[in-house]
Amino acid sequence: MAEDYVLFEASDAIATITINRPDKYNALNISVKKKLLEMFRQADKDTSVRVVILTGFGEKAFISGADVNEFVGRNSDTIKQVVNPSRDIAQFITAMDKPVITAVNGYALGGGCELALACDIRYASKNAQFGLPEIHLGTLPGNGGTVRLPRLVGLGIAKELILTGSRITADEAFRIGLVNKVFNSVEELRAGANELARILSRMPGVALGLAKKSIQESWELPLNEHLAVELDAFCKTFDTEDKEEGVNAFLEKRTPEFKHK
C-alpha cells in the first residue's frame, strides 16, 4: 500500500517524512510520489510544524531514484506522468516557507539525489552515496539535476558527475559542497538532523521563511532585482512581533522568545 510507503511523524514543531520502501531501496513510483507530495502539503499546512526533515527508512538507501520499472515503454509524452510528480515535490519544497532538511542515510541516486538537491540543507551519513546515473539508462536527470547540481558544485564537477553517471561517497559530496555535514553513522545523522531542526524551529518563523525565499530568488533574478527582493523581505520583518522581541532581547541581554508572528 502506498499509504505505508511514506511515513509522517510530527512532534515538537518538527515533521519527519520518511520514505519507507526498503525492499526497493526506497525507489519512488508514481503513487509514492503522490503520497510524498501530500505529506509535504500536510507539513506545510500544520501550523504546529516549523521545520521538515526528509529521510529514508533503514540504513541502506535514502532514495535510489525513480522506480525504473515505470520507464519501460514510455515515450517523450507519456514519461511526463512519471517525471511531473517528482518535479511537483521539488517545486513544493523550494516554494514552502518552512525549511526542509534532508538526512541522507544511504544511496541518493537519480531522482533521490535530485530531491536532496531541492531541499534547503543536506546532511548525510558516512555510508551515503550520491549520483545521477540516468546516463546509464540512456537518459538524463529530469527533475532539476542538470540545473541545481551545477549551481551548487560548479559546472565542471556537475558535468563530470552527470556525463559519467558515477557515484561519489558522502565525504566527497561534502568536499564539493553537495552536503553540509557528514556523520559517522545513520544514528548520529538522525540525531544531527533533529538537533538542527530543533535549532531552526526556535528561530523567528516569518524571518526564516523570508530569508529562504530571498536566497532562493538568487537563482531566478538578476542582481538588482534580487537586491530589491531582499530589501523588501528585510523591511517586512520590521512589521513582525518577533523582530521587536529579538532586538529587545539582545538589548536586555536575555534569550528571545519568538512567537513566529
The residues carrying an active-site annotation are: 114, 134
Residue 44 is a binding residue for ligand COA (CB under 6 A): no
Q: In the bound complex, what is the minimum distance in angstroms from residue 43's beta carbon to ligand COA?
A: 25
Which one, 5 or 258, has the nearer CB to ligand COA? 5
- Beta-sheet pairing, 129-131 with 167-169: antiparallel
Minimum separation from the CB atom of position 153 to ligand COA (A): 19
Using CB atoms, what's the residue nearest to ligand COA?
110
For position 192 contacting ligand COA by CB under 6 A, the verdict is no
Residue 67, interface with ligand COA (CB under 6 A)? yes
Q: How far is the CB of 8 from ligand COA (least distance, A)?
A: 23
Q: What secondary structure does DSSP assign to 204-243, as a single string?
A: -HHHHHHHHHHHHHTTTS-HHHHHHHHHHHHHHHTTSHHH
Cell of 51: 521545520
Minimum distance from residue 74 beta carbon to ligand COA (Å):
12
User: Is 34 an interacting residue with respect to ligand COA (CB under 6 A)?
Assistant: no
Beta strand spans in 27-132 (E) = 51-56, 61-63, 100-104, 107-109, 121-125, 129-131
Q: Which residues pair with 19 in a beta bridge?
A: 6, 56
Residue 63 CB, nearest distance to ligand COA (Å)? 8
- CA pair distance 242, 144, nearest whole angstrom: 35
Position 58 contacts ligand COA (CB under 6 A): no
| Residue selected from 64, 105, 125, 143 as contacting ligand COA according to rule CB under 6 A | 64
Per the CB < 8 A criterion, the answer to whether 189 and 123 are in contact is yes
Among 2, 68, 135, 152, binds ligand COA (CB under 6 A): 68
C-alpha cell at 52: 521538515
Pairwise CA distance, residues 26 & 47, whole Å: 29
Return the range that interacts with ligand COA (CB under 6 A); candidates 12-20, 105-113, 204-212, 246-254.
105-113
> Please, which residue, 125 or 201, has the CB nearer to ligand COA?
125
Strand order in the sheet with 107-109: 61-63, 107-109, 129-131, 167-169
Are 245 and 259 in contact by the 8 Å Cβ rule? The answer is: yes
- The stretch among 6-14, 19-27, 172-180, 230-238 that binds ligand COA (CB under 6 A) is 19-27
Closer residue to ligand COA, CB minimum distance, 68 or 152 = 68
Look up residue 36 and give its three cell numbers.
510524498
Q: Should residue 82 be labelled a site residue for ligand COA when binding is judged by CB under 6 A?
A: no
Residues that bind ligand COA (CB under 6 A): 24-25, 27, 64-69, 107, 109-111, 133-134, 137
